[in-house]
Amino acid sequence: MCGRIANTLPRDAMAGLFDAKPANRLPEVPNYNICPTTDIAVVFGNETGRNLVSMRWGFLPHWYKAMNDGPLLINARAETIAEKPAFRAACRTRRCLIPVTGFYEWKKDAEGKRWPHYFSGEGPLALAGIWQDWQQEGEVTRSCAIVTTSANDTMAPVHHRMPVIISEADWPLWLGEAGHGAARLMGPAPEGVLLRRAVHPRVNSNRASGSELIEPFDAP
Q: Show the 3-state SS of the chain.
A: CCCCEEECCCHHHHHHHHCCEECCCCCCCCEEEECCCCEEEEEEEECCEEEEEEEEECECCCCCCCCCCCCCECEEECCCCCCCCCCHHHHHHCEEEEEECEEEEEEECCCCCEEEEEEECCCCEEEEEEEEEEEECCEEEEEEEEEEEECCCCCCCCCCEEECECCHHHHHHHCCCCCCCHHHHCCCCCCCCCEEEEECHHHHCCCCCCHHHHCECCCC
Instruction: Give the pLDDT confidence score for residue 220 in this predicted structure.
Output: 65
Check whether 1 has a pLDDT greater than 90: no
| Tens digits of residue pLDDT in 148-179 | 999 999 999 999 999 999 999 999 999 999 98
Is residue 9 within 8 Å of residue 106, measured between CB atoms? no
Average pLDDT over residues 13-36: 97
What global pTM score does this model have? 0.96
Check whether 126 has a pLDDT greater than 80: yes
| Tens digits of residue pLDDT in 38-92 | 999 999 999 889 999 999 999 999 999 999 999 999 999 999 999 999 999 999 9
Closest CA to 133 of 37, 51, 46, 59: 59
Sorted by where each starts, the structural domains of the chain and their CATH numbers stand as: 5-214 (3.90.1680.10)
